[in-house]
A and B are shown apart, each in its own frame.
Chain A
Amino acid sequence: MRIRILLWLCTVSLLYGCATVKPWEKEGLADPIMIIDENPINTGIKEHFLDYREGAVGATGAESGGCGCG
């Protein structure tokens, strides 16, 4: 577990130094096609049925629950 946390820290530290994009350069990133999860509600709906068809879940950024279909 310590190794994993250490890996996380290293990765985050490395990437933390990548911040070179200035606010005025981000216009393109606000474009809907560049937003990773532009519609989280819709993402949740899409993920919902996969959760009950496969043995693997998680790490999708979507959260759902409440169904006992599994």
Chain B
Amino acid sequence: MQLEQKAVVAGVVRKITLFFLLLFNLSTIDFAQLLPGNETQVNFSGYFDSFNVSVIYPSISVTKKVSESTSLTARYLVDMITAASIKNGKSNSTSTNTSLSKVDAVTAASGQTGGGEEGRIESENILPKFDEVRHEFNLGIAQLIGGGIITFDGLYSTESDYTSATIIGNFTQYFAENNTSLQLGIVRSWDKVFPKTKDWKKNKNVTTINANFTQIISKDLILQLLSTYTDNSGLLSDNYKLVPITVNGKDSLFDPIHPDLRIRRAAALSLKYRLTEKSSLQLGYRYYWDSWDVRSNTYSANYQRYLSKHVILGIGFRNNVQTQAFFFKPNYSAPEKYMTTDIKLDSGFSNELQLELILRGGDRQNFLPFLKDERVQYIFDLNFYLRHTDSPYWFNNSNKLFATNFNIGIRYRY
């Protein structure tokens, strides 16, 4: 099966490459300087949800144009997570904490270890504190070549029970007086998973191919088509999200068992339209389907408007409806070949309200002195997210997740 999938991936890569090379030869090169410019960006972001998960993730990113045709980017991000997954073991369910499998999570509970963010319930008398810290490093280079740009990024992430190394390559080609662009990208990740409650280390490999197309239709309308093909293999479950099963009248927690291969596909259409001189509307639709029978339709709309010359307000709405994975069940009466109670694999829907305020520096900012410098931009994001699943999560008997996500960012372009 895996050989067949690899052959399919190789075939897709070959065909898309040929297609891209064909268009490259047909291109009319009138190339603008589209390299990322010098910029430093600092973001302070946070996430809080009704499952008692809190994440604070500050990041800093620096982009430097080192020549007319090359720019470099470095980024560092740190995730500080409270209510990490191992608290799952301190369940407030009716489990007797007896395991028939090799799972030891229930008795190995330790507030200072773990991984993952979702489905974690803090036990009583445990004060919020950072249980997990993840560091992410990213180095990238963008290079002009012919009528396009090649970018290459290397990313490394490490935490106490998970490491990931990722390389990302993209090639963007511009055509037709820069009215058309085609982007072909590949992402490859090598992840290692070693839960604190286990004595093994397993691999997860992800290969993603992206093909994106952007077209300027008129001076007021831009269209974008995006597509993604992802091959996931290896350990694809979160081994902190245990499965409760009653065997011989005794409640036990088992490891989740997911198929070790998942082919994920997504195609999206996005339109950006200028409504007036001071406002624009972006509409988006995405269809997603995968080999685990998850299907999803995602709709989004984002309205942006200048409140003044230097202030932009954005209001967005996003809706996602999905079906469940073929092996998902809210509860199991006996161990099965595949089993999971991972609630994000359940059917359901989510809604998100996005608010954004951008303050751009410039002259005539006497009332806000810190905005006098036109190279500075302040960004404030606030998102409200609600996810409703058709089944309640066994751990807290809730089928609703409320989350708030914020970001405060400063961009300095020079």
Chain A interface residues (CB < 8 Å from chain B) = 1, 5, 8-9, 11-12, 15-16, 18-23, 25-26, 28-29, 31-36, 39, 41-42, 45-46, 49-50, 52-61, 63, 65-70
Contact = CB atoms under 8 A, between A and B. Distances in A.
B294 to A, nearest CB: 4
Interface string B56-97: 010101000000000000010001000000000000000000
Given A19-B175, A54-B296, A66 B164 contact: yes
Given A26-B219, A55-B296, A55-B325, A68 B385 contact: no
For the complex of A and B, list the 4 residue pairs with the smallest distance between their C-beta atoms, beginning with the closest. Answer: A66-B157, A68-B162, A58-B228, A19-B176
B23 A12 contact: yes
Nearest to B324: A55
Given A16-B176, A19-B175, A68-B161, A8 B136 contact: no
A11 B238 CA distance: 39
Contacts of A34: 222, 272, 274, 280
B246 interface: no
Interface residues of B, number: 114
25 contacts: A1-B15, A9-B19, A11-B225, A12-B213, A15-B213, A15-B215, A16-B176, A16-B215, A19-B179, A19-B215, A20-B218, A22-B177, A31-B280, A36-B282, A42-B407, A45-B57, A46-B407, A55-B296, A55-B325, A56-B264, A58-B286, A63-B168, A66-B136, A66-B155, A70-B238
B401 A53 contact: yes
- Which secondary structure characterizes the binding site on chain A? loop
Contacts of A35: 272
Contacts of B215: 15-16, 18-19
B226 interface: yes
B191 to A, nearest CB: 7
Nearest to B159: A68
A68 to B, nearest CB: 3
B263 to A, nearest CB: 11
Contact of A66 (B156, B277, B306): B156
B206 A65 contact: yes
B331 interface: no
Given A53-B118, A54-B350, A68-B193, A63 B59 contact: no
Interface in B19-74: 19, 23, 30, 41, 43, 45, 47, 55, 57, 59, 61
B344 A59 contact: no
Contact of B216 (A19, A50, A53): A19
Given A55-B296, A55-B325, A67-B157, A42 B219 contact: no
Contacts of A9: 19
A34 to B, nearest CB: 6
Interface string B1-19: 0000000100110011001
A12 B115 CA distance: 43
Interface string B326-367: 000000000000000000110000101010001010000000
Instruction: Kindly name the residue among A16, A25, A52, A69 whose own CB sees the greatest number of chain B CB atoms within 10 A.
Output: A69
Given A16-B176, A65-B155, A53 B385 contact: yes
A8 B178 CA distance: 20
Given A23-B177, A25-B219, A67-B136, 5 more contacts: A5-B19, A54-B387, A56-B290, A57-B288, A68-B116
A65 B219 CA distance: 35
B288 A21 contact: no
A60 B269 CA distance: 9
Nearest to A40: B36
Given A16-B175, A20-B218, A39-B411, A59 B182 contact: no
Given A45-B59, A59-B228, A28 B211 contact: no
Interface string B172-207: 000111111010010101010100000000001010
A15 B176 CA distance: 11
B214 interface: yes
A68 B115 contact: yes
A19 B178 CA distance: 9
Contact of A58 (B11, B178, B266): B266
B157 A65 contact: yes
Contact of B162 (A46, A50, A67): A67
